[in-house]
């Protein structure tokens, strides 16, 4: 039985972990600290699928009618209870 992959679904935007150099460029461009990025929980199914870990930054690429592609970034955080 083949396991369903979230990224194969047309409604799920592309998610990828970005490297430290790209994170540094992102933070410099927006003059922010890493902790100021929007968050995504480590138990999110897409985080699990791409293998992201606590502290990783995930780049989300969505289709845009006006800009072809739009990029969003999320910091992977732990489960808040």
- 28 or 12: whose pLDDT is higher? 28
**Is 1 within the bounds of a domain?**
no
Contact 38, 74 (CB under 8 A): yes
Does the pLDDT of residue 20 top 90, yes or no? Answer: yes
Contact 26, 16 (CB under 8 A): no
Distance (Å, whole) CA 29 – CA 11 = 29
Give 39's contacts (C-beta < 8 A, 6+ positions apart). Answer: 74, 75, 76, 77
Looking at residue 36, its pLDDT comes to 97
**Is 27 within the bounds of a domain?**
yes
Domain total in the chain: 1
Alpha helices in the chain (DSSP H): 20-30, 45-50
Q: What is the mean pLDDT of residues 33-41?
A: 96
- 6 or 43: whose pLDDT is higher? 43
Does the pLDDT of residue 14 top 70, yes or no? Answer: yes
54: domain CATH number is 3.90.940.20
**Is 15 within the bounds of a domain?**
yes
Domain housing 67: 6-77
Looking at residue 66, its pLDDT comes to 86
DSSP 3-state assignment of 49? helix
Looking at residue 2, its pLDDT comes to 58
């Amino acid at each position: 039985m083949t396991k369903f992959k979230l990224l194969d679904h047309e409604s799920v935007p592309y998610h990828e972990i970005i490297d430290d150099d790209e994170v540094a460029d992102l933070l410099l461009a927006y003059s922010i600290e890493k902790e100021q990025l929007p968050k995504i929980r480590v138990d999110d199914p897409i985080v699990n699928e791409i293998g992201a870990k606590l502290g990783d930054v995930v780049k989300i690429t969505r289709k845009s009618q006006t800009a072809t592609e739009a990029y969003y970034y999320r910091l992977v955080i732990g489960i808040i209870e």
